[in-house]
Amino acid sequence: MNRNGSAGSDRHATGLRLSEHTLERGSQQLLRPGYRRSQTRIGTVHFGPGAFHRAHQAFFFDRLLEKDATRAICAVSLKTASLRDALAPQDGLYTLVELDEAPTLRVIGAIRELLVAADSPAAVGSRLCHPDTSLVTMTVTEKGYCLDGGGGLDFAHADIAHDLSHPETPRSLIGWLVRGLELRRARALAPYLVVCCDNLSDNGPTLRRAVLAFAARRDAGLAAWIEETTLFPRTMVDSITPATDQALRERVAQASGLEDAWPVQRERFAQWVVEEVDFAGQPDWESVGVTVSRDVTAYERAKLRILNGAHSTLAYVGLLAGLQTVAEAMAQPALRTFIERMMIEDIEPTLTVPQPGALAAYRQSILHRFENPAMRHQLAQIAWDGSQKLPIRILGTVADALRAGRPLARLTVAIAAWMHFVRARARDGIEIVDPLAAQLAALGRQATGNASHDLPLFFALPGVFPAALTQEPRFTRALGEAYEVITARGALAAVTAAGAAQA
């Protein structure tokens, strides 16, 4: 299987491919769409229809379609055709497996159109300026926003430079958002609601600033129109979504009686919080279990720091310890204790939430989810794109801990483990999946395991470590100590040492 989880051979082939024509021939345990797809209309364009979108947002839109036939999705991949090629023969249908003691298999029918922007720019532009389109959502991961180290739009990024020169055929998400809004303005259509569903800090306003910065370089009048008319609500999304593998395909084929080239899986838990905004064309979010709140920032910050921060820590420490999945990592008593103490003592003091006791309840739910025996969430998948994730998931917590004078021993273990992960991958010649892959591989080959030699190499990476941290002796000392312990005795020893230091 390739890194995207695309289709492979099926040793348990049924001979019957999932599609509109075969759906009714599937097994009785297969839950089917509760609406007539032929009567639905596309009202949402989604950029980046990877596994998370199809397991999460598309699931909510599938439920919305039972009440509102205008909420079908046009799924747009920016550059790659693998999803379109897998799902087009299936009429856009695919199977969602909800992992629990009693798993659920559900066919999702919300995706009515599959486009690849690089192949069909005119079709994407037409869909963005279609009168029925009222919503544009996205899950392109942190790297897909082409931001610089300060969180602003990176005008030196190759895709951004291309899109400024070739505005009618963008390559980037930002270029496409501005292109669509430009077309709507020209045709006197209202703007669409722009809903970012990625783990960016303050994601809506961050995306808004990037869009306005790009638009201002193109056309001052367009930028002013976007600033006045277009809304970018904050959101928070949460559901653990392991990558698709061959075992999942075989499981789906056996249980449903239908072959599915690209099913998806997630835990039963799925949360989506959207900021309350005044926009007439938005869905009835709350009718399908989406939380609408005036304070999304508190939800977002808690999720990024508690769940995502703990996930990244488990990934890098666990991989160095020879473990493969989140559940295996949580089965290590020292590591589980370390994660729980980090949540309670290091992360939660940096957070505030509206309801008393909410953080403790959220923490307990996360620990339970991490330990779910039905989940095989690969640590290697979580480890992708560390240079983009760590600043958001860990380094902000570190900065807050420094300001408050709290210990750093546990928090710096995660960062040191990432550095050793890079070093180990480079040493073993294993691909590093990261926007900075080339720099990281070269750095990893130079690294010696000595903190005084290696840390400055990592600190020089563009856009990862703020100067305020790298110049702070308390941080560099704690990080150096964790790094040296991993070099000498391994990642689990560093976990134990950090716990003892903060006991």
Q: How confident is the model over 372-379, as a mean pLDDT? A: 88
pLDDT digits (tens, 9 = 90+) for 312-351: 999 999 999 999 999 999 999 999 999 999 999 999 999 9
pLDDT of residue 61: 98
Location of structure tokens 């990080």: 479
Would 334 be classed as within a structural domain? yes
Based on the domain organization, do 256 and 168 belong to the same domain?
A: yes
Please state the rounded mean pLDDT for residues 73-90. Answer: 97
pLDDT at 376: 85
Place of tokens 């072959």: 259
Query: Is it the case that residue 41 has pLDDT exceeding 80?
Result: yes
- Whether 389 shows a pLDDT value over 60: the answer reads yes
The reply to whether 285 and 302 lie within a common domain is no
442, two tokens: 């070269």
What is residue 434's three-state secondary structure? coil
Query: In this structure, which amino acid lies at residue 471?
Result: Q
Residue 453 and residue 361 share a domain: yes
DSSP state of 5: -
Residue 9 pLDDT level (bands cut at 50, 70, 90)? very low
Give the model confidence (pLDDT) of 431-440 as tens digits: 999 999 999 9
pLDDT of residue 150: 83
User: Residue 155 CB: number of other CB atoms within 10 A?
Assistant: 13
Q: How confident is the model at residue 116 (pLDDT cuts 50, 70, 90)?
A: very high
Of 294, 309, 335, the position where a domain reaches its end is 294
Amino acid identity for residue 133 in this structure? T
Compute the average pLDDT of residues 240-267: 95
Q: Are residues 286 and 308 in the same domain?
A: no
**Could you report the per-residue pLDDT of 164-197, keeping only the tens digit for each?**
999 999 999 999 999 999 999 999 999 999 999 9
CATH of the domain at 252: 3.40.50.720
Contact between 274 and 291 under an 8 Å Cβ cutoff? The reply is yes
Domain membership of residue 16 (yes or no) is no
* Alpha carbons 288 and 374: distance in angstroms, whole number: 25
Based on the fold, state whether residues 146 and 226 are members of the same structural domain: yes
Contacts of 147 (CB under 8 A, 6+ apart): 153, 154, 200, 206, 210
Examine the pLDDT at 12 and tell me if it is beyond 60.
no
Three-state DSSP at 193 gives strand
Name the residue type at position 144: G
Residues 6+ apart with CB under 8 A from 47: 76, 78, 136, 137, 138, 139, 140, 173, 176
Residues 200 and 109 in one domain: yes
Token pair for 458 = 């990592």
| Same domain, residue pair 332 and 242 | no
Task: Give the model's pLDDT for residue 6.
Answer: 43
Do residues 288 and 301 share a domain?
no
Residue 4 is assigned to a structural domain of this protein: no
Instruction: State the CATH number of the domain containing residue 325.
Output: 1.10.1040.10
| Domain-ending residue, one of 238, 268, 294 | 294
How many domains is the chain partitioned into structurally? 2
Examine the domain organization and report whether 321 and 265 are in the same domain: no
Q: Is pLDDT at 18 greater than 90 in this prediction?
A: yes
Q: Is 306 helix (H, G, I), strand (E, B) or coil?
A: helix
Q: CA quadruple 461, 173, 270, 284: dihedral positive or negative?
A: positive
Dihedral Cα 431, 432, 438, 444, nearest 10 deg: -100
Share of the chain above pLDDT 70, in %: 97
Query: Does some domain include residue 313?
Result: yes
Q: Does residue 304 share a domain with residue 188? A: no
Domain that holds residue 344: 297-501
- Last residue of a domain, which of 279, 294, 309? 294
- Residue 205 CA to residue 426 CA, distance in Å, equals 37
> Higher model confidence: residue 474 or residue 199?
474
Q: Are residues 265 and 368 in the same domain?
A: no
Task: Please check whether residue 385 is in contact with residue 375, taking contact to mean a CB–CB distance below 8 angstroms.
Answer: no
Contact 273, 235 (CB under 8 A): yes
* Pick from 426, 439, 416: nearest CA to 487: 416
152 close to 205: Cβ distance less than 8 angstroms: no
Binned at pLDDT 50, 70 and 90, residue 123 comes out as very high
Band (pLDDT 50/70/90 cuts) for residue 102 is confident
Nearest one of 473, 467, 469, 419 to 446, comparing CA atoms:
419
Residue 152 has pLDDT above 90, yes or no: yes
Closest residue by Cα to residue 273 from 248, 253, 246, 301: 301
pLDDT of residue 13: 55
- pLDDT for position 354: 65
**pLDDT(214) > 50:** yes
274 has which bridge partners? 235, 292
Q: How long, in residues, is the chain? A: 503
Is 13 part of any domain? no
Looking at every residue in the chain, the average pLDDT score rounds to: 94
Residues 260 and 390 in one domain: no
> In the prediction, which pLDDT does 14 show?
61
